[in-house]
């Protein structure tokens, strides 16, 4: 019975590895003839297709972490764990055949390369069993939307069903399955890899991590975070509510660590909450506060730069800034409209549509022009000449449409004489 609790994971290069099949004549015989792998042939993975293998490995384990030959190899390979701590499986999908795709490797723990003499008999059998168990682990399903698939393709009840030992026993067990790697969906910017700068960056990270690139990356990020925090502490206090909102909008995991250092008072907390609301959907549903109406694009841009220094997304801050500009424009233009119409406007000029659309705005402009309301027609024409102006005109017309519908609703409740 295969142990269902073993789940292979991607791992770092642990030390010097030796290909199991090449250790000695006994190991070679266990694999079979040249380019033969009898262990692999005993498993369903003997039928694996290169494209499906690559897809599955990327979805389950993320980017490959073992370099190779850019001509001979399809891409970087994945080094994954086995049930034994001295055996690892290097998976490098290859159109040259499965023999080139799966490479079980033994760790030379002592560094004395005496594996040729020791990997025989029971130890060899145990290593081969661990190799087979790891191959079978690739039959565990991962998901893409509502599709479950493994290394052989999409799961079905006939040709490719989930092995009994890999099936979930309950909901908690199901959640423990390797659903997909957390890097899936994360883009790789052009120019990140390749070139001398990339190699230099790796060297810097390695140095900053005392020989470990992962630790170096963590240390470098921590240093950048501390520098960003220092900049925030020395920023204009008027920016604190915007900075706090930006950290929370990005769901920044260290936001609760940073926010207390800002020492926001009650009014500043309220401003941060308003900015967050502005960053969602189409912005504020109610009239912006005097604070929001006086915010400048320069202030928001400065705050965005301070938040971006933490290495977190700021797109919702950008969206909030756009919404603030439009809210400020609407406030000005609504007051201007009231002045132009003398505080009175015949709502019959607003088209009686089911709900306000762009067509409602077109109808409004046509109606005021036909009614000889030249000042309002010119005002609407001016707004319609820019993107923000068109959005503002739509909001003004939508507000008039809402007023019209409210009056009609109240009148419908009044009994006829």
pLDDT along the chain (417 residues), means of 10: 76 89 91 89 91 93 85 87 94 89 90 81 94 91 85 79 58 59 77 74 91 91 91 92 91 77 89 87 66 92 94 89 87 91 87 83 91 92 90 88 86 70
* Tokens 């963590």, residue located: 218
* Cα 250 from Cα 319, distance rounded (Å): 12
SS3 call for 36 = coil
102-107 and 17-19 beta bridge pairing: antiparallel
- Position 370 scores a pLDDT of 92
* Cα 288 from Cα 228, distance rounded (Å): 30
* Cα 219 from Cα 222, distance rounded (Å): 5
Per-domain residue ranges for the chain? 17-176, 196-234, 341-413
* Tokens 């930006």, residue located: 246
Query: Kind and range of the H or E element at 90?
Result: strand 87-91
- Position 3 scores a pLDDT of 67
Calculate the CA 174 to chain-centre distance.
Answer: 23
What's the number of CA atoms in the CB half-sphere (13 Å) around residue 270? 8
- Position 291 scores a pLDDT of 92
Name the region of 49 (left: φ>0; alpha: ψ -120 to 50; beta: rest): beta
- Position 416 scores a pLDDT of 60
- Position 408 scores a pLDDT of 84
Is the Cβ–Cβ distance between 160 and 45 less than 8 Å? no
- Position 1 scores a pLDDT of 43
3-state secondary structure 243-312: HHHHHHHCCCCCHHHHHHHHCCCHHHHHHHHHHHHHHCCCCCCCCCCHHHHHCCHHHHHHHHHHHHCCCC
- Position 166 scores a pLDDT of 57
* Cα 132 from Cα 37, distance rounded (Å): 11
Decide: pTM greater than 0.75: no
């Amino acid at each position: 019975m295969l142990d269902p609790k073993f789940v292979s994971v991607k791992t770092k290069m642990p030390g010097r590895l030796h290909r199991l099949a090449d250790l000695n004549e006994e190991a070679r015989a266990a694999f079979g003839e040249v380019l033969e792998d009898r262990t692999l042939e005993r498993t369903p993975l003997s039928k694996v297709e290169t494209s499906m293998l690559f897809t599955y490995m990327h979805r389950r384990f993320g980017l490959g972490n073992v370099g190779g030959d850019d001509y001979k190899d399809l891409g970087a390979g994945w080094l994954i764990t086995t049930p034994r701590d001295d055996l690892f499986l290097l998976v490098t999908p290859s159109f040259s055949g499965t023999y080139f795709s799966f490479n079980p490797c033994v760790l030379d723990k002592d560094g004395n390369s005496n594996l040729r003499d020791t990997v025989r008999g029971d130890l060899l059998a145990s290593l081969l069993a661990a190799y087979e168990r790891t191959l079978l682990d690739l039959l565990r399903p991962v998901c893409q939307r509502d599709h479950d698939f493994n290394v052989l393709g999409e799961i079905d009840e006939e040709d490719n069903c989930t092995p009994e030992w890999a099936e979930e026993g309950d909901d908690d067990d199901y959640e423990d399955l390797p659903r997909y790697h957390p890097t899936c969906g994360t883009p790789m910017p052009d120019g990140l890899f390749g070139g001398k700068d990339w190699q230099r960056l790796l060297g810097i990270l390695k140095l900053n991590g005392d020989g470990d690139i992962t630790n170096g990356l963590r240390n470098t990020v921590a240093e950048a975070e501390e520098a960003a925090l220092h900049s925030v502490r020395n920023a204009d206090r008027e920016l604190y509510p915007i900075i706090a909102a930006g950290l929370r909008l990005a769901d920044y995991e260290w936001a609760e660590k940073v926010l207390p250092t800002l020492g926001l008072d009650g009014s500043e907390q309220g401003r941060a909450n308003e900015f967050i609301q502005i960053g969602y959907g189409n912005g504020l549903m109610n009239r912006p506060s005097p604070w929001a109406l006086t915010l400048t694009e320069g202030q928001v841009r400065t705050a965005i730069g301070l938040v971006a220094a933490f290495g977190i997304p700021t797109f919702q801050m950008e969206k909030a800034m756009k919404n603030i500009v439009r809210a400020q424009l609407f406030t000005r233009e609504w007051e201007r409209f009231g002045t132009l119409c003398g505080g009175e406007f015949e709502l019959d000029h607003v088209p009686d549509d089911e709900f306000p659309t762009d067509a409602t705005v077109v109808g409004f402009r046509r109606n005021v022009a036909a009614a000889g309301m030249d000042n309002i027609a010119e005002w609407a024409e001016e707004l319609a000449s820019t993107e923000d102006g068109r959005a503002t005109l739509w909001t003004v017309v939508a507000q008039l449409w809402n007023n019209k519908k409210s009056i009609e609703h109240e009148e419908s409740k009044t009994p006829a004489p």
